[in-house]
Structure 1
Amino acid sequence: MGAIELILIRHGESAGNVAATYAQQSGAEVIDVGLRDPDVPLSPDGERQAVALGTWLASLPADERPESVWCSPYLRARHTAELAGMAPFRVDERLRDRELGILDLLTSRGVAARYPAEAERKQWLGKFVYRPPGGESWADVALRLRSLLRDLDDADDGRRVAVVCHDAVILLLRYVCEGLLEADLLDIAAASSVRNGSITRLVRPSGTGFWNVAAFNGVDHLAAGGAPVTEHAGDENVHPR
């Protein structure tokens, strides 16, 4: 047996999301955020999203609320959980965002200008397989999530569990939990980006086997709580070419 529901929550909008979108739109090569990725905080809008998330969680009937919370160690995820009133929560490094290695803080323009061979290799291999030097592929992240889910099932048998993490991590939890193929995952990633503060629910009443999606990327709770809906799309070229 294991957990029966996963409530996957992307952190609120971060200062890094804002800086990355500005850099892409302005044609810059480098994202000017000035912090290590683990230390990037929420933006003011991200804080409002986290508060709205907490209002939504508090409004749930007792038999629908998460009974346990697991959280990425990155500041933006921990701050989201704290502002949403989800403490105490369990921090686990396997929920950290994907590590980008030498491509960290570079826009797609910056990668093409500074590492043209890597830009070509990334397009050839596709997002699931491509591993930047010093970083991780999506397949690498999936491996650490398989380990995490085994521990989560042992710790939270028969319980509803909230997981506060990152966009790529949510997509890859779907990949592992639903038993998707690479092509299935990349089709989802190409069709939609995981929005800040969004909620994805996976259910498995038996506590065993694959999971089913009850909701994906929902943000109605943000509007209801008076918070803005923000969407910061990543690299749109996810399929191998």
Structure 2
Amino acid sequence: MAGVRALQWLNLTRHGESTGNLAHRDARRAGAEDAGIPERDADIPLSDRGRLQAEVLGRRLADLPPDERPTLVVSSPYLRALDTARIALAQTSWAAPDGPRLRVDERLRDREQGVLQGLTALGVRRRFPDEAERARRLGKFYHRPPGGESWADLALRLRSFYRDVEADAPGGRVLVVAHDAIIVVTRYLVEELTEQEIMEIEKEPIGNCSLTRWRADAGGLRAVCYNDTAHLTAPGAPAGLGPDDA
């Protein structure tokens, strides 16, 4: 993909567990139609568990060899991602005081759901049955809910983002702190996958504070790890930080 060919390392992480993740999980288990989240999407904070996950992620980043440490760190402007970035970077010595500045880019925001925001799958079927049927016919990749974005729309703004990143990253080592959809669509772009391939991959939930990495070789960027949460369950990490259905 043009926009990443000059990078040496591309690292992505999802934000830590948020109160929104918990609300959606509880709503699904209760058979509710709406998660009942009071904040707008941009203002949903981390849970206490999410803050601990971000600390553990930071300790993994702190252990990176010097030639793998990010020279550019970019976060989604959404609170849950931005706080994850700040907490994680505070655990590293290489990020302060003279390390890479944390930048914010609105193109890394979560996928916009429009009128479906906050609804469970049950809520969508009951409140917007025609929209649920349209989504079934079009497929998840191309379906754009009213007022929202399709996965293809997300790919368009990420292509723009990565073109700019290629020019802005000294040494070509980037860390992106964002959302599950950003990670999945980045894989679609970097590995030049098909709609069918990425929709199959998308069935595996992206863990909070997981790490996904690509490294440059003669043929371009090659996957090192995807959705890796080993640091959250490693010896010495607080218990209960590993992935669940949030």
2:45 is aligned with 1:41? yes
2:205 to 183, 193, 196: 193
> How far does residue 210 in structure 1 lie from its aligned partner after superposition?
4.8
2:23 is aligned with 1:11? no
Unaligned runs of 5+ in 1: 234-241
1:91-110 to structure 2, matched below 5 A, reads 91-110=104-123
Instruction: Give the AA of the match of 1:213.
Output: A
Secondary structure of the structure 2 residue equivalent to 1:8: strand
Distance 1:55 1:214 in 2: 19
2:138 is aligned with 1:125? yes
1:9/1:200 contact within 8 Å kept: yes
Secondary structure of the structure 2 residue equivalent to 1:150: helix
- TM-score of the pair, normalised by structure 2: 0.89
> How far does residue 221 in structure 1 lie from its aligned partner after superposition?
1.0
Instruction: Give the AA of the match of 1:110.
Output: G
Secondary structure of the structure 2 residue equivalent to 1:171: helix
- TM-score of the pair, normalised by structure 1: 0.91
> How far does residue 19 in structure 1 lie from its aligned partner after superposition?
0.3
1:167 to 180, 189, 202: 180
Secondary structure of the structure 2 residue equivalent to 1:133: coil
> How far does residue 213 in structure 1 lie from its aligned partner after superposition?
1.2
> How far does residue 157 in structure 1 lie from its aligned partner after superposition?
5.2
> How far does residue 59 in structure 1 lie from its aligned partner after superposition?
1.8
2:226 is aligned with 1:222? no
Secondary structure of the structure 1 residue equivalent to 2:89: coil
Aligned to 1:70: 74
> How far does residue 230 in structure 1 lie from its aligned partner after superposition?
2.7
Distance change in 2, residues 1:20/1:78 (3 Å): same
Unaligned runs of 5+ in 2: 96-100
Structure 1 residue ranges, 4+ long, deviating more than 2 angstroms after superposition? 224-227, 230-233
Residues 175-226 of structure 1: CA deviation (Å, up to 9, x unaligned): 1111111111011112x111100000012245xx753211001011112332
Percent identity over paired residues: 50
2:24/2:35 contact within 8 Å kept: yes
Distance 2:102 2:194 in 1: 31
1:29 to 20, 26, 33: 33
Aligned to 1:238: none
Aligned to 1:183: 196
RMSD between superposed Cα atoms in Å? 1.5
Count residues with an aligned counterpart: 230
Aligned to 2:166: 153
> How far does residue 232 in structure 1 lie from its aligned partner after superposition?
3.1
Distance 1:85 1:210 in 2: 28
